[in-house]
Amino acid sequence: MNNRVIPISLAVIDRDQRERLERMISANPMVRLVGEDAEEMGVLIYEPGDSVEEDMPHIIHALESGQAEDVYLAGDVADPEILIRAMRSGIREYLKFPVDENDLRAAVLRTAMRLSLGVDDTGKGRLFTVLGCKPGVGSTTLAVNLACVLNERGPGRTVLLDLRQPMGEIPYFLDLKHDYTWGDLVTDISRLDATYLRSVMAEHASGLHVLPGPATGERPDEHTLFLILEQLRHSYDFVVVDAAAPGEDELPKEVELADSILLAMQLSLPCLARVARLAESLSGQDPDADRRMRLVANRVTRNASIGVPEAAEVLGREIAWAVPEDGEAALSAINQGTPLVQAFPKSASAKAVRNLAKGLAPEEKKACKGLSLPFSSLFRKKGKASDANDNMAGAAL
């Protein structure tokens, strides 16, 4: 981890909250407060006010160009429109007033991890999280075969992470022997870097890298899981996560950070009901979840009583992909410990997974980022607003 002391700039309207943050910063050895006229901005803690439409483009440019190392939004209420705009621009930290010292420390730890990786966000791999709406819908089969197809683009550049609880089954699907699991990373997360991460990976004959789950033990805490996922994204082109369906009112890190959330389902009434509740829950906690969520109808049979169009109409959501039922081939592949796309490449299911991978991650060039604009007016504006009207805190949130 990077031991550098991180500078923090404050653009906070509320005087009491500003003073509270100043005290927390002075008590935290990982950070230091810098003045409005300092040459370095470091981490910007910004409270949106009436001028948010004018300020936000400057903040986004500063973050994208590297003038700001990170940006935390702060305030009383999280305005969904501002959060969506912030998330799409790479701002993922939000500090709710009154700021809790543990929340600030956790945000700083995540920033330190990103900085220690030494790689711009534009170089990150893409994270695809596969969820089953309930157990038994074939989400592990989908995750394994999706990872295998993506790995064909560049063997060794795709990793498959097993987060199923209480015990993942990915090694059985790949007939894969392994010595380590993500549990070994959790026991000494302070050592986590690219070299340590590679040392615990299991490698399939195809070149696919796999990080299995431990046979026993709880899932990593959210901060630890964030560090693991970020390191994976900086080390691989594609990260595929086989995850358990979250409970109600639960937003796991592998869902929050995913570029795409694949929600696997079958065309049955219990599955449709569960998908509706789960999609509503995730969207309520993360305003950006709808944009990233893709429904996958799995094990679709001919002449089913509920078809894909009917299911989409009931849910009020598009079903992006349908994978046909191919039980005999799928079961044979699992028993062989060979991915379906390799054991039966001409099967209807294998072809559907390949189409899914092509639609999910088409080949594309990465765009260049622009430059930032000056920030001195932002800090002056915040200072004057604080002196003139202390009641403006969080007005736009």
The helix/strand/coil state of 261 is: strand
Q: Cα angle vertex 103, ends 76, 381, to 5°?
A: 45
Residue 250 has a pLDDT of 79
- 56, amino acid identity: M
For residue 172, the Cα-to-chain-centroid distance in whole angstroms is 26
DSSP assignment letter at 115: H
Strands 209-211, 202-203: pairing is: antiparallel
3-class SS of residue 233: helix
pLDDT score, position 16: 93
Cβ-count burial of 103 within 10 angstroms (0-12 exposed, 13-18 middle, 19+ buried)?
middle
Residue 373 pLDDT: 47
Note the pLDDT of residue 297: 96
CA distance 262 to 267: 16
Contacts of 26 (CB under 8 A, 6+ apart): 33
Neighbour tally for 249: CB within 10 Å? 8
Q: Which two tokens stand for residue 327?
A: 């039980």
Which domains does the chain possess?
Answer: 6-118+369-389 (3.40.50.2300), 124-345 (3.40.50.300)
Q: What is the mean pLDDT of each run of 10 residues along the chain (397 residues)?
A: 74 92 90 82 86 82 82 81 75 87 86 64 82 91 96 95 87 93 85 86 95 85 86 93 84 91 95 93 86 94 90 94 91 92 93 95 58 54 50 34
Helices (H), ranges, 152-268: 170-174, 182-187, 194-199, 222-235, 253-256
79 neighbors 50 (Cβ within 8 angstroms): no
